Amino acid sequence: MSHPHHATEQKDPAYPHPAPGRDAARAWLIGLLAGALGLAPWWITGARLPVQNLWATQAMPDQMPLGLLPLSQYELTTIVALLTVGGAAAGFAVRIWSPARRRLVTWCAVGGVFSVQLLATAQSFLVLNQGLAPGSTSGLYFGGLLAGVIASMIAALVALVLIASRSTVATTIGCGLMAVPLTSWAVEWVVGVVGYINVPTAVPTIARWVPAVLVGCALAGCGLRPARRIVAWVLNLAFLWAIPALFISVQYVLGTRVLAGDLQEMLLMSRQILAATLGPDGGALPTLVVALAIGLVGVGARALASRRGLEGGPRALPD
């Protein structure tokens, strides 16, 4: 009778890792589904292009053409959320899958996500270009929106690569980067399902604290050892402090029609609002405290559970 070790050695060659092509195809499909999931909150609303201030003809909201992205200066933070969540979802899927060919799978997932996002971008900007009134202001508006979408796609790539990484530090940083966009994306789901008028009054209050909870949970999962993981703590708390302020300032400035076209005045106001929201009166301190508290309590609970497991382990074994 052959030794079990020999039998294993004989069976191993018969069961190699799945072919690279199969892993690549699966990762591409994951990317396609993740990209579509990211855009789904907009699509369920009917995906009518938002009413445009620079539209060539007068049109009601239900007369606007279909647009796979909500191209509008008033929806820039929404676009960021829709696109980055698609990348983050693909990153989480790769992280959970943990394939042997991590690099191949990650970049195939990137290809899948970008296939959806590039298609949505091309279709939306084609429709926008056809409907805008001619003029330099329209050209500036078109170019600004395109730059915002490209920047959002780059952010989606960064989130995907970080979260899909084998490194706990990189994954934690990716989670912290996505806490605010993910919350905005979830709010868009609520708006898409019930409509703007029927959004419960508690939603904005809950949305304020969700990023802190997400960051706190990410920090608890990261831990404090080895010491290099402290970098993830510092960066995540910095993201939680700065990204909401950035979202607020961008949304406020771009939503002010009085400043439309006055770039210097818009930049000045954006700096003023950003400074105010980052300052003591911006309200970031309570959310930072909550995130830090959740992270430290989580680390303590994990350490206590680990210690109890070590203490109880030897007693559980028979003599």
CB distance 131 to 52 below 8 Å: yes
Name the β-bridge partners of 55: 132
Sign of CA pseudo-dihedral 276, 279, 280, 283: positive
pTM of the model: 0.87
| Percent of all residues in the chain with a pLDDT value above 70, rounded to a whole number | 89
Q: Which residue has the higher pLDDT, 17 or 31?
A: 31
End-to-end CA distance of the chain: 33
Q: Is the pLDDT of residue 196 over 70?
A: yes
- Give me the pLDDT at residue 65, please: 95
pLDDT, tens only, 8-27: 444 444 445 567 889 999 99
Average pLDDT of the residues in 248-256: 78
Average pLDDT of the residues in 29-34: 98
pLDDT, tens only, 52-78: 988 999 989 999 999 999 999 899 999
CB distance 277 to 249 below 8 Å: yes
Phi, psi dihedrals of residue 23, rounded to the nearest 5°: -60, -45
Q: How far apart are CA 266 and CA 255, in angstroms?
A: 11
Mean pLDDT (the chain) is: 88
Q: Is the pLDDT of residue 261 over 80?
A: no
CB distance 68 to 122 below 8 Å: no
- Give me the pLDDT at residue 18, please: 61
Indicate the residue type of 308: R
Local confidence band at 248 (pLDDT 50, 70, 90 cut-offs): confident
Q: How far apart are CA 180 and CA 214, in angstroms?
A: 9
Q: Which residue has the tokens 């912290």?
A: 176
Q: Is the pLDDT of residue 92 over 50?
A: yes
Q: Is the pLDDT of residue 270 over 80?
A: no
38-47, 90-99, 192-201: which range is least confident on average?
A: 192-201
Token digits for 188?
A: 């868009």
- Give me the pLDDT at residue 6, please: 45
Q: Which residues contact 240 (CB under 8 A, 6 or more apart)?
A: 176, 179, 180, 211, 212, 215, 284, 287, 288, 291
- Give me the pLDDT at residue 15, please: 44
- Give me the pLDDT at residue 251, please: 81
The domain limits of the chain are 17-166, 199-312
- Give me the pLDDT at residue 308, please: 85
pLDDT, tens only, 146-158: 999 999 999 999 9
Token digits for 95?
A: 């992280």
Q: Which residue has the tokens 């395109």?
A: 146
